[in-house]
């Protein structure tokens, strides 16, 4: 794989038109077909080596690129790791508590004479119950 810059007239690389000054990543085979109009910017390790290249365009000239590269490398090392103290919650636990509370609120609303409680959200039910209780006082 090569990272190349197009020089001169437009060319079709990887089934996509590229024009003068454009940058593209292409295979060796694609490069051989079009090498007279391309400038090689970088040789990219093959995927067989399990390395990939990330290209970033940084406009802020105050950023220290070596420091940024180190930070990105550290981030990538830890990217798919899970912290030891992380305990994954079972989503059904929270849903069952919410469902139980919602059912209690609906029952309370029915007892206060509020209609259509089956289609109300929790927040709406709380508001309607509060209004009904204030009217009854």
Q: Does the model's pTM come out above 0.95?
A: no
Q: Identify the pLDDT of residue 82.
A: 60
What pLDDT, in 10s, does the model give residues 18-37? 999 999 988 888 899 888 88
| Contact by Cβ (8 Å): 24, 18 | yes
Categorize the per-residue pLDDT at 85 as very low, low, confident or very high, splitting at 50, 70 and 90.
very low
Categorize the per-residue pLDDT at 51 as very low, low, confident or very high, splitting at 50, 70 and 90.
low
Provide φ and ψ at 83, rounded to 5°: -60, 145
Q: What is the DSSP string of 84-136?
A: TT--PPPHHHHHHHHHHHHHHHHHHHHHTT-S-GGG--HHHHHHHHHHHHHHH
| Bridge partners of residue 43, in order along the sequence | 2
Please state, as a whole number, how many other Cβ atoms lie within 10 Å of the Cβ of residue 118.
Answer: 8
Q: Is the pLDDT of residue 84 over 50?
A: yes
**90 compared with 135, residue with greater pLDDT:** 135
């Amino acid at each position: 794989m090569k990272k190349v810059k197009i020089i001169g007239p437009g060319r079709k690389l990887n089934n996509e038109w590229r024009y003068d000054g454009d940058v593209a990543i292409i295979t060796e085979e694609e490069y051989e077909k079009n090498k007279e109009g391309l400038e090689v910017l970088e040789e990219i390790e093959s995927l067989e080596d399990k390395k990939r290249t990330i290209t970033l365009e940084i406009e802020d000239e105050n950023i220290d690129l070596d420091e940024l590269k180190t930070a990105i490398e550290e981030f990538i090392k830890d990217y798919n790791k899970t912290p030891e103290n992380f305990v994954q919650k079972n989503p059904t636990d929270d849903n069952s508590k919410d469902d139980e509370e919602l059912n209690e609120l609906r029952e309370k609303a029915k007892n206060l004479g509020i209609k259509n409680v089956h289609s109300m959200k929790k927040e709406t039910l709380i508001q309607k119950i509060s209004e009904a209780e204030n009217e009854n006082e």
